[in-house]
Amino acid sequence: MSEASDPIFARIARRYDFINVLLSFGREQAWRRRGIAHLPPGRILDLGSGTGAADPVLHGFDVVGLDPVSEMLQLSPMSDRVVAIGESMPFADESFEGVFSAYVFRNLTSIDRTLGEIRRILKPGGKAVIVDLSRPRNPILRFLHRLGSAIALPLAGLIVRAPGDYWYLHKSLDKLAPVEELYADGPLRVERTWRMGPFGFVYGAVLAK
């Protein structure tokens, strides 16, 4: 999904989930769960599925996991896994009732192309739920969060012996517009957005076809 980030995730695949739990103070699944509550029943694509960390909270859905990094997917407990990019997905039109994506969109090569593909594979009335990280809206909190992530993410990288890789992840938080603006002009209708986590640095978005 991203020429810059895919080699990074390949290198840190076995340590990725541990660091995510550490950096989220154990809240990453709760943030996923809040988003998943908005998915319709049926067949769901877990876009950027990685190691299948969402598998426990997607219980009850018919899930296909898609990720461009085979090293990540090899660790996934999901039975239906596809190595592919979000910008060009190997599925027929209107194949899914829903799409779920967590902690992925800031690493995409093209959000516009990925959203276009999501719209194509969603059935009429289908929904996409996106959970990701961003900077807080408040300027003071945004400054404090940027300072904190500049320290915390490289330190996390030292734990897994990849400080440079986690410096890239720190910079990725500044790539995109706030969620309140990011999806406004896209091919899917914004149904709702919300903020979670300390300072509101985690967001959720529900997009409808």
Residue 1 has pLDDT above 60, yes or no: no
Q: Is the pLDDT of residue 139 over 50?
A: yes
All domains of the chain in start order, with CATH: 6-208 (3.40.50.150)
- Model confidence pLDDT, tens digit, residues 179-198: 999 999 999 999 999 999 88
Using the predicted structure, report yes or no on whether residue 167 has a pLDDT greater than 70: no
Distance CA 87, CA 195 (A): 26
pTM: 0.86
Position with higher pLDDT, 90 vs 157: 90
Beta bridge partners of residue 203, listed in sequence order: 132, 195
8: pLDDT strictly greater than 60: no
Tokens of 97: 């009732």
| CA distance to 36, 118, 126, per residue, from 60 (Å) | 11, 21, 17
Q: Is residue 17 classed as helix, strand or coil in its secondary structure? A: helix
